[in-house]
Each structure stands twice: as C-alpha cells, then as structure tokens.
C-alpha cells in the first residue's frame, strides 16, 4: 500500500498557508500551484472562473476506453479566522502532536489534499483508468453560496465537470454505537425554507408604555417556543436506513430516536436533525428607536427541511409549534427557499465505498446519512440529475462528535492519520470504479 500520509500532509500544509478567506477568496495562487503539479503528472488541467482572481480548477485523467466519469470535488475557500482566539496561527499549517493545524484543516482543504494526493500517486505510477475518466474539481466560493464556483462552472462549462459519480464533503467521520463503528456517506442534503414570524401591536412613546401594545413583548413567547420546538418528524429513506443500521426500529422513528438518546445522547443530537424540519430563530427586528414602543416585531428563523419537502411541511410544523396564526396572533412569511435534494442510496459508488470501508476497518460499515446543511453536491445534483453525488471524507481516529465542534471554529485541526486514511480511501475507490 503506498505511503500517502507525507504527500497529503505536504499538500494540506501548502493549501492552508494560502489565506483564501472568503470574501475575498483570492484563490488564484493556490489553484495555480495545484494545477502545475497535476499537469506535470499527466492530467489535462483547466483553470476557469468568472473573474481572473478566482479560477476553478478541473483536472482530467482520461481512460483507455469510454466509461463512467468519477469526479472528486472540493472547495478551496474558507471562512474567516480570528488569530487571538486560536492556540496556534490559523494559517501555520504546522503538525503539532500529530495534528495539522489551520483554517481549512477540516472544512475542507483536507479533502482537497487527500483527493489530490491519491490522484497524483496513481498518475505518477503510470496508472490510467481502464475505462472512463477521473476528474478532480477544486472550486472557489462555496462558503458564500458558490456563485463564482460550483454554480458558475456547472452553468458556464457543464461539459467540463459533468460526471456520473461524485465524491464531495458532508460525512465520513466514524460514528461509534456500542461496539459497532459506522462511517456515514452523505446521500442527501436538507433544504432551506427560512421564514419570518411577525407579531403586531400598537406604537406609543416609551415613557408611558401602557398606552401602547408592545409587539416585541408579544413576539417573545413565540421566539421561545420556536427555539424549544422539536417538530414532528418527517423522515426520508436515508435516515431510516441509518436507524436500522444502528439496530433501531425505523417503523417508529420517534421511538427509535428516544431509544438512541438513552443509549448515546451525543449521537442522537447529530442524528435527529436529519429526521425532520428544524427551527433556529436568529434575527429579531422591532423598534428602530429606543424611545418608541414597536407596533411590529419580527424574528427570522433559519429553517432546514428534509429533501423534497417545502412550504406546506414548514407551515404545518410552525402551526404545531405556535398554534394557528389567526389564533396565536402572528403572520408567517417564507423569505428564502432552496429545496433539499439527494442521490439514490444504492449505486455502484456506494458499493465501492462499502467495500473499501469493510477492508480498511474490518467489522465497520458504511451507512447513508443526510446532512443538515448543504454543500456543492446540491448544485451538481441539480445541474446533472443523473449524477450520483455523495459526501465522504472518512476519519477513523476522530469521531463525528469530536469533529463537528471544530468546523468554522477556533483551533481547527486534523489528525494526520485521518488525512492519510482519506487519501487511501480515494485511491482505493478510484481503482475499484475505474479499473486498474
């Protein structure tokens, strides 16, 4: 088995030391370095972007015969980091006590590094697909919606990035339940149906508050109820498969979740959002002047919906949490809609991932999961309906519970053994699907 750890560490260090905080992103220098290495290894490389400063990278290794296209997708922009909050420089890229530190170490320059390390190792050895093509796609701008990245390239250069199978971010850190180990494969992503709740009152001078009817006071209990709400579950096939894999009865998801919570509360907290609608009140608006009793007050709620569900489900769950609008005294307005989407749970790509997991960690299993958020996989599924897109970055030494608190947070870092684990995964899956 090739030693990919040193190469993946080298690449991730190089990637982190490029400050590609978005905005502004400024990913060109990073992309040009990757392009140079991939071209030298035999890839056909393109750098294309809406603006010169922010090119997307596409590198293709053609096979000996026609066949399926396997895409390895990642994004190279990151969120911001405040150095004062970190124990080490967020852009150091240093390995400290076996962990590589820096912004992007988990989200998601690590996956870029692992995918590129695996692809370079194969190409440099003389390997070429027996059938089909291998395509590496490193996009910009994911952290603020992908307008310059996945959205732009799938619209403007669809033939460059069209693929049959796609591996991206979204899952893979090991989940431990009892003595069993599971590696999640993200087969679907929730949508967004953000809404605004508005309460009404009567304006007055704040020096005599009883002459008015404070809409903010009317709104407050509604916000509290939304924040505490656990809406009725609306499960889709993937999380039901996960419940079954965990040894729970998927025919009664609520009872299964309760049993899981008794067994492992931390794991239940990560599984529950995939089973239905979630509410997170985040922004309140009321009076614009401190001395005026507000006649209107509103709260904006970040609402995530299971794939395929929309306004009707959201409004029903809001009414269950707050009571019908006409009785509880509020208006509700959907202010943003992005419907969730997914890929089939059963596919040759899932089979290849399952085979690799069984070999790399005997006794462990690959299981389908739904991501509560969404990634660029959403864009690729929408652009190419036949594309099977999964999120998979396997980590054996860092559990899902340990990983999530580091995403977009201070002290982001990755165990270098997990970086190597993922690189080996991609190498194995590539050869499995495209032939040796």
**142 given a catalytic annotation:** yes
Instruction: Tell me which of 99, 121, 142, 164 is the catalytic residue.
Output: 142
Question: Alpha helix locations (H) across 286-332?
Answer: 311-322, 325-328
Q: What is the chain's alpha carbon radius of gyration, rounded to the nearest angstrom?
A: 24
Ordered DSSP codes for 11-34: HHHHHHTS--BTTT---HHHHHHH
CB proximity list for 306: less than 8 A, separation 6 or greater: 190, 191, 234, 235, 236, 274, 275, 276, 277, 313, 340, 370
- For 90: left if phi > 0, alpha if psi spans -120 to 50, otherwise beta; the answer is alpha
Where are any strands of DSSP class E within 68-149? Answer: 69-75, 95-96, 99-101, 133-139
Q: How far apart are CA 95 and CA 6, in angstroms?
A: 11
The length of the chain, given as a count of residues = 436
β-pairing, 204-205 with 292-293?
A: antiparallel
Angle at 366 between CA 253 and CA 356, to 5 degrees: 175
Q: Tell me if 251 sits within 8 A of 240, measured CB to CB.
A: no
**224 given a catalytic annotation:** no
Query: What are the phi and psi torsion angles at 142 (to 5°)?
Result: -65, -35
Measured CA distances, 218 to 177, 315, 324, 326 (Å)? 44, 20, 15, 14
Ordered DSSP codes for 242-278: HHHHTT--TTSHHHHHHHHHHH-HHHHHHHGGGGB-E
Instruction: Tell me which of 7, 27, 77, 141 is the catalytic residue.
Output: 77
Q: Tell me if 71 sits within 8 A of 163, measured CB to CB.
A: yes
Ordered DSSP codes for 193-229: EEEEEEEE-B-EETTSGGGSB-HHHHHHHHHHHHHH-
Q: Could you give the count of Cα atoms lying within 13 Å of 422 in the half-sphere of its Cβ?
A: 35
Q: Tell me if 302 sits within 8 A of 282, measured CB to CB.
A: yes
Neighbours of 106 (CB within 10 A): 25
Q: Which residue has the tokens 């709740």?
A: 197
Would you please indicate which residues are annotated as catalytic (active-site) residues? Answer: 77, 142
């Amino acid at each position: 088995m090739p030693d990919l750890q040193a190469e993946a560490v080298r690449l991730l260090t190089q990637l982190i030391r490029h400050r590609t905080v978005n905005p502004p992103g400024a990913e060109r220098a990073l992309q040009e370095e990757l392009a140079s290495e991939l071209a030298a290894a035999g890839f056909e490389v393109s750098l294309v972007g809406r603006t010169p400063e922010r090119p997307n990278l596409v590198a293709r290794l053609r096979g000996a015969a026609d066949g399926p296209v396997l895409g390895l997708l990642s994004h190279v922009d990151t969120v911001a980091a405040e150095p004062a909050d970190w124990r080490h420089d967020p852009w150091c890229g240093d390995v400290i006590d076996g962990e590589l530190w820096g912004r992007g170490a988990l989200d998601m320059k690590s996956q870029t590094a692992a995918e590129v390390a695996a692809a370079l190792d194969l190409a440099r050895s003389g390997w070429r697909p027996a059938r089909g093509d291998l395509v590496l796609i490193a996009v910009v701008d994911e952290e603020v919606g992908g307008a310059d990245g996945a959205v732009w390239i799938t619209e403007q250069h669809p033939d460059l990035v069209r693929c049959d199978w796609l591996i991206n971010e979204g899952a893979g850190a090991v989940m431990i339940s009892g003595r069993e180990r599971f590696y999640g494969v993200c087969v679907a992503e929730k949508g967004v149906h953000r809404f605004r709740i508005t309460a009404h009152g009567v304006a007055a001078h704040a020096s005599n508050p009883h002459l008015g009817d404070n809409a903010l006071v009317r709104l407050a209990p509604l916000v509290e109820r939304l924040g505490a709400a656990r809406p009725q579950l609306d499960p889709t096939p993937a999380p039901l498969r996960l419940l079954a894999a965990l040894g729970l009865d998927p025919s009664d998801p609520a009872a299964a979740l309760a049993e899981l919570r008794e067994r492992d509360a931390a794991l239940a907290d990560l599984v529950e959002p995939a089973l239905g609608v979630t509410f997170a009140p985040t922004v309140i608006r009321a009076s614009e002047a401190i001395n005026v009793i507000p006649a209107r007050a509103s709260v904006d709620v970040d609402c995530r919906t299971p794939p395929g569900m929309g306004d009707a489900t959201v409004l029903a769950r809001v009414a269950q949490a707050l009571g019908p609008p006409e009785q509880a005294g509020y208006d509700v307005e959907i202010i943003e809609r992005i419907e969730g989407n997914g890929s089939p749970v059963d596919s040759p790509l899932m089979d290849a991932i399952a085979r690799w997991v069984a070999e790399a960690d005997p006794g462990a299993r690959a299981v389908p999961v739904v991501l509560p958020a969404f990634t660029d996989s959403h864009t690729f599924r929408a652009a190419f309906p036949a594309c099977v897109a999964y999120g998979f970055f396997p980590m054996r030494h860092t559990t899902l519970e340990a990983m999530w608190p580091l995403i977009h947070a201070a002290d982001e870092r990755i165990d270098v053994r997990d970086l190597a684990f993922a690189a080996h995964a991609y190498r194995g899956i590539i050869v499995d699907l495209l032939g040796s």
